[in-house]
Amino acid sequence: MDTPDIITLAEARTLGTSRRALQNSRAEHHLHGLYSPLRRERDGETLHRSLLRAASSAATDVASHESAARLWGFPGSVVPSEIQLLSISGDRRRRVQGMAGRRGLVLPGETTVLGGIPVTTPARTWLDLARTSGVLRLVLWADWLFNPVWGGDWEREPLATPTELRALLDRHPGKPGIRKARAAADRARVGSDSPKETELRLALVDAGLPEPAVNQWIIDPRTGSRVHRGDLTYDEFRIDLEYEGEHHSGPGQVQRDIARAERLRAADWLELRFSSMHSRHGWLPAVHKTREALLSRGWVPRGD
């Protein structure tokens, strides 16, 4: 039989092992009452999940905040230095080294189970992080939550919807960070394929440029056929903005990008391509490039 990765003191006692015996053995002590029967080499991600699986409970404590963000794969999330648990029973956990316990109002439907670990839902995790996160990061995360993911023969439905997020905000009007969360929800959009696309969209709007549509189909007016689903588009001015990540450097992708550009040109669309070099100085190079393109296509700034 496989030796469990993490056991509690109560489980050890059931097996006939006392606390003193555990402390004198080769068992590794992690948190209050949590041990590894054998010392093992494991990465931080694996240990984090193992500790959460052992310390959480669907009835009393669930993984939350930074721990939940890491479990769900929030962009930019890292393994926290302490496991984060939220009490759903109302009891306050005793503060112990390596574990951060919190209390808060948790309503039905705001927790679930992921990989055997009780955890706050993606939307609730997002709201819990609003207290310590800026509006920009909350918008990036909301866009990511709203976006389905697909690849090869697998697909993931959106982890949350705008309606779900709005309902959550309405249920927690006095929660710390609620103003930032509301501001972020107002600026979040469905369809963004990457955080960089979200950053670019926000930078353009903050600079006073029109807000581009996200992930919309470009239609050839001559044939009525679909040409391309643009990252960010200005349909009125026939301008397509494409953010090119590192994956666009491969030979096959380069050929597809060239073919796309030719189709757009034939449909009288102007394609603007952006990369990380355009994100410098708060995306100023991208703002300047887009502004010039809009002006060339007949855009008139407000006040002119």
pLDDT in single tens digits along all 304 residues of the chain: 344 465 555 554 555 555 554 454 554 545 555 555 555 555 578 888 888 887 777 778 899 999 999 999 999 999 998 889 998 876 655 555 566 778 888 999 999 999 999 999 999 999 999 999 999 999 999 999 999 875 555 567 899 999 999 999 999 999 999 999 999 999 999 999 999 999 999 999 999 999 999 999 999 988 899 999 999 999 999 999 999 986 556 667 778 888 888 999 999 999 999 999 999 999 999 999 999 999 999 999 987 6
Domain boundary among 161, 187, 213: 187
Same domain flag for 32 and 129: no
Does residue 253 sit in the same domain as residue 161? no
Q: Are residues 155 and 68 in the same domain?
A: yes
Number of domains present in the structure of the chain: 3
Task: Point out the domain boundary residue: 155, 187, 219.
Answer: 187
Same domain, 253 and 290: yes
Same domain, 178 and 202: no
Q: Does 48 map to a domain?
A: no
Considering the domain architecture, whether residues 182 and 254 belong to the same structural domain is answered as no
| Residue at 46 is within a domain | no
Choosing from 130, 152, 187, the residue where a domain stops is 187
**Residue 27 has what pLDDT?**
47
Asked if residue 168 and residue 71 are part of one domain, the reply reads yes
User: Quick one: 126 and 207 in the same domain?
Assistant: no
Residues 6 and 126 in one domain: no
Residue 90 covered by a domain: yes
pLDDT of residue 47: 80
Q: Do 173 and 79 share a structural domain?
A: yes
Residue 142: inside a domain, yes or no?
Answer: yes
Q: Please tell me whether residues 73 and 183 are part of one structural domain.
A: yes
Task: Give pLDDT, residue 287.
Answer: 99
pLDDT for residue 90: 66
3-state secondary structure the chain: CCCCCCEEHHHHHHCCCCHHHHHHCCCEEEECCEEECCCCCCCHHHHHHHHHHHHCECCCEEECHHHHHHHHCCCCCCCCCCEEEEECCCCCCCCECCEEEEECCCCCCCEEEECCEEEECHHHHHHHHHHCCCHHHHHHHHHHHHCCEEECCEEECCCCCHHHHHHHHHHCCCCCCHHHHHHHHHHCCCCCCCHHHHHHHHHHHHCCCCCCEECCEEECCCCCCEEEECCEEECCCCEEEEECCHHHHCHHHHHHHHHHHHHHHHCCCEEEEECHHHHHHHHHHHHHHHHHHHHHCCCCCCCC
Q: Indicate whether 304 belongs to any domain.
A: no
Is 77:70 a contact under the CB 8 Å cutoff? yes
Q: Is residue 118 part of a domain?
A: yes
The answer to whether residue 47 is domain-embedded is no
Q: What is the CATH number of the domain that holds 227?
A: 3.40.960.10
Domain that holds residue 62: 55-187
Res 135: pLDDT: 98
Is 272 among the domain residues? yes
Does 100 lie in the same domain as 155? yes
